[in-house]
Amino acid sequence: MKALGVSPRHRIPTTNPRFRTAQGARNGSSGLNRMAESFTPSNIAAALDAIAETFDQSFTNSVAGGAQRRSVWRELDRCFSPGQRILELECGTGVDATHLATRGVEVWACEQSSKMLEVAHRRVVSSRLPAPVSLFPLAPEQISMLQDRGPFDGAFSDFGALNCVEDMAALGRSLASLLKPGAKVVLCMAGTCVAWEVILFLWHGRFRDAFRRLGRGPVHMRLTDDLYVACWYPSVRAVRRAFCPHFGLLRWRGVGVTIPPTYWEKHAKRFPKVMTLLAKIDPWLGRTPLVRVLADHLLLTFEKAVF
């Protein structure tokens, strides 16, 4: 598998805040069920293409999105060191890959959306990075195509990208085949019971939607006015079980217990001092048992077993 395109300084190619909506579709429509269940990686890539050019504006550059991302970066910086070669699943617009490369970490970033990759491409070539970023047009289910490029020193995926992957056990096996023993894997998954979302739905009398993520089946989320995707919300226990015996869970915490989701952005902008306070409190509550599970995202750190 080749990175598409090469620059003198970087190997470059040619892609759930991604599918976030406070107006998630209800599961009662059979037509909607068929629509969501028909989503293949290529169809999801088309959905991501539709939001690629506005994603940074709506999430990356938002007050809430920026606060949550900085929290994730602290864990990435803890796990990955300069000189290492790290695999990223669903790199989006390349913000996290660029951050790590700035610290001297080489990143092999995979993304199934060609439009997301174009934005990531522009970000990488416009940055003066001390470490290379290689971009590959691969969905998470296709990362085994990089088998001959391994082993990697670690892997990560940010902000709910893997909530569109139904078979987490298969993904765990693919990652195990690509990583060195002892390698760290950092996964930022969309939460299973988000306090902010529950409050919003209950306020509007939408009791069924308030707890829709707790079901076993997919939740059908609206991406645009006429486009829906199927998302799964596995618990920490379910992800840990799916990754056994290849990986052991080292630690996990919540990201966005007090930091609101981006659909509360207008309120975050109105009260910047409150947001600053909430951002300071969030790391502490994100480690507090019984409370951390209510976060917007769950940040899980695994380590590959040494056999």
**How long is the chain?**
307
Instruction: Determine the straight-line distance between the first and last CA of the chain, rounded to whole angstroms.
Output: 28
Between 172 and 37, the more confident residue is: 172
| Superfamily the domain 39-191+236-304 falls into | Vaccinia Virus protein VP39 (3.40.50.150)
Look at residue 21 in the predicted model and tell me its pLDDT: 35
* 8 Å CB contact between 96 and 159: no
Q: Report phi then psi at 83, rounded to 5.
A: 95, -15
Tens of pLDDT, residue by residue over 111-158, are 999 999 999 999 999 999 999 999 999 999 999 999 999 899 999 999
Those residues whose C-beta lies under 8 Å from the C-beta of residue 172, and which sit 6 or more positions away, are: 242, 243, 246, 247
pLDDT-derived band at 267 (thresholds 50, 70, 90) equals confident
DSSP string, 145-172: GGGGG--EEEEEE-TTGGGG-S-HHHHH
- Domain ranges, ordered by start, for the chain: 39-191+236-304
What are 201-241's pLDDT values in tens digits? 999 999 988 898 888 778 877 766 667 788 899 999 999 99
Residues contacting residue 34 through CB under 8 Å, at least 6 positions apart: none
Q: Which of 17, 40, 36 is CA-nearest to residue 227?
A: 36
